[in-house]
With several copies, the nearest count.
Chain A
Amino acid sequence: MSKYPEKEAYNLGIIIDKNTHAIVQGITGAQGSFHTRLMLEYGTKIVAGVTPGKGGTKVCNIPVYDTVEEAQENHPVDASIIFVPAPFAADAALEALENGIKILVIITEHIPIKDSIEIMEYAKRVNATIIGPNTPGIITPGKSKLGIMPAHIFKPGNIGMVSRSGTLTYEIASSLTRKNLGQSTCLGLGGDPITGLNFIDTLKMFENDSQTRAIVLIGEIGGNLEELTAEYIAREKYPKPIVAFIAGRSAPPGKRMGHAGAIVMGKAGTAESKIKALKEAGVKVAEKPSDVAKLLRI
């Protein structure tokens, strides 16, 4: 990694930075309040929380409101991180979007597909960025995090990471950190079939981020987004080096979405297909999580 010397002063990360003012929707729940504390400790500017019916209370000394509207009347708000339980998560996301918030990190898992489709349609219309659902969030090490990832496994640096998997990201990030390969921004796309950002969106951002010198892409079986990403990388002659890891090589043929799913996906979806496509696009693919660091150093 010697060709990517670490700098003292880091520029902005992608999507969030030190000056991002965020609210926490679902701040009064166990997860919401726990991670609000951790995010504050990390230096994230959490300005307010929203939990309907809990307006007027405080969590970690942060004021809680009943509605996003009220939070915005009292604070500058750039982003929202959502911990609201699945049945109510779409409502929370739409509330944030309708109130003009342009960056959403949706931690909640088990959101119905129909709800996610609605969220994404709205986000697209108003040009908002959605991370998740079912994501560990985003961290720009040393600057800010909007997410639930353990902060100590990250360190500032030049590697951009984008992943469909939470703990696997931690596994790889901590191995990079141990090997002194710091990260510019690490972003979890989310494990659901329908997510906001995808690999291609994120690669475009990393391309424009001067801080990022190389990218780690962590995929898994299911869907065809890795294959489409490989196509994109090849077609656009993507200028920064990428190392990939794909989980699920030993998995049996997964749950297939009937004939319709098979027709939509063609042969895509298996680890084999994804690895082949990425390799053909010039991406180095690691066999084991610990190989990622080695391949970055080549």
Chain B
Amino acid sequence: MKLFEYEAKNILSAYGIPTPKGELATSVDQARKIAEKLRPPLVVKAQVLVAGRGKAGGILFADSLAKVKKVAEKLLKMEIKGIPVKSIWIEEKIEIKKELYFGITTDRLNKSYVAIASSIGGMDIEEIAEKHPEKIIKFLINPKMGLRSFHARQIARKMGYEGSQLNAIGKIFERLYKINIDYDAELIEMNPIVETAEGKFVAADARIIIDDNALFRHPQYKKRFFESESELFPQEIEAMKNNLAYVKLEGNIGVIGNGAGLVMATLDTIQLYGGKPANFLDVGGGASAEKIAAALKIVLSDPDVKTLFINILGGITRCDEVAKGILEAKKKIEVTKPMVIRLVGTNEEEGKRILTEVGIPVLDSMEEAAEKVVEISRKGGL
């Protein structure tokens, strides 16, 4: 779960990491009041969760109260990558001497956290990493030790700092690691962390993604996860509520399957035959009839979907439950779109019987089924 910049900065600040003084506004009037308090020059930043906000014009500068008003007005009417801007963060402008990068994420191979630091940060950090890998410090964190003060200082030294700056930035790294652990982050980064003209360090932007699987330890975010994921499609929100993994795609063939790998392979196969999947929907293992019905409802509620492909290979998932779910969905919603169903595995015979009895044909081969659904969709769906 991604946190908004303002949420992340408030956490950093609570852990003693210097951030620019700032406040959140959801209206132009509020923005004006905040600006009067903080006094220009100020930075006004759209609070959206999509990446690339800066390049999309979501970060603007204002050197007068009038300009703040204008800029706030503009941003609060803006959409960034299709997402309407609902709130803006107004903060003091920092005198930048140098932009640095520091982040922590997981290292799959080493099964641990890894800190990434660079004495050149900012929007082009990934390009720098590619072209000048020697500028990037990767510091593997021993899980039992964590990132200690002395580790943080080792990194700071490699970034070229010494004296009181070495201790100051080291403290920031150490604290960021503490946030990483306390908040179960799967990513935490400050980009840039700024070295100011006076040689101080300030986290000018911050990003925290909390591990969704750890939300049970962070009830305050679990709540907000459902409340304010304003940037999702209605289908995505519905899927979340039903514990289904759903991703909207750009085609017209709705896809439902069990197991992420199988669903992905289904999408690939559809594409191989020239079709375009409208979504990814994984019902997971051992789905009940209710869950299958919910999945159907979600996919069919997408107007882009012209045909539906259900691909089930029953392991823990029972084919009879899937068949019942399909009937249940049909009962509750009018299903006018054509469906291709592939159903094999546990309780296969019973599942097939249930469906064929009501006149729904069932296929055995995933590839045949994919070919068929592509053919139907090519004919325009109906």
Interface residues of A (CB under 8 A from B): 31, 52-56, 66-70, 86-88, 91-92, 94-95, 98, 109-118, 120-121, 124, 136, 148-150, 153, 163-171, 174, 191, 193-194, 198, 218, 220-221, 223-225, 228, 245, 247-252, 256-264, 266, 271, 287-290
Contacts and interface: CB of A to CB of B under 8 A. Distances in A.
B109 A150 contact: no
A167 B266 CA distance: 11
A113 B187 contact: no
Contacts of B157: 55, 66-67, 69-70
Contacts of A228: 109
Nearest to B257: A167
B166 A53 contact: yes
Interface of B: 51, 101, 103-109, 111-114, 116, 125-126, 129-130, 136, 138, 142-145, 148-150, 153-154, 157, 162-164, 166-167, 170, 181, 184, 186-187, 189, 191, 207, 209, 211-214, 216-217, 247, 249-250, 257-262, 264-265, 267-272, 277, 280, 284-286, 313-316, 344-346, 365-367
Which 6 A-B pairs give the minimum distances between C-beta atoms?
A165-B261, A167-B259, A168-B261, A260-B103, A112-B214, A95-B150
Contacts of A31: 286, 316
B138 A264 contact: yes
A166 B264 contact: no
Contacts of B191: 259
B271 to A, nearest CB: 4
B315 A223 contact: no
B166 A250 contact: no
| Most chain B beta-carbon neighbours within 10 Å: one of A115, A120, A171, A249 | A171
A95 B261 CA distance: 31
A56 B125 CA distance: 31
B261 A225 contact: no
Given A257-B105, A257-B186, A258-B189, A114 B211 contact: yes
Contact of B116 (A170, A260, A288): A260
Given A252-B249, A258-B207, A113 B116 contact: no
Contacts of B138: 263-264
A98 B153 CA distance: 14
Contacts of B209: 257-258
B184 A95 contact: no
29 contacts: A53-B162, A66-B153, A68-B150, A112-B213, A113-B186, A114-B214, A117-B106, A117-B113, A120-B111, A121-B144, A148-B315, A166-B261, A167-B313, A170-B315, A170-B345, A193-B108, A225-B108, A247-B265, A248-B268, A249-B271, A250-B270, A250-B277, A258-B189, A259-B103, A259-B189, A261-B187, A266-B129, A288-B265, A288-B269
B129 A250 contact: no
B106 A247 contact: no
A100 to B, nearest CB: 14
A264 B211 contact: no
A66 B166 contact: yes
A171 B264 contact: no
B4 to A, nearest CB: 14
A150 B166 contact: no
Contacts of B114: 260, 264
B106 A194 contact: yes
A263 B136 contact: yes
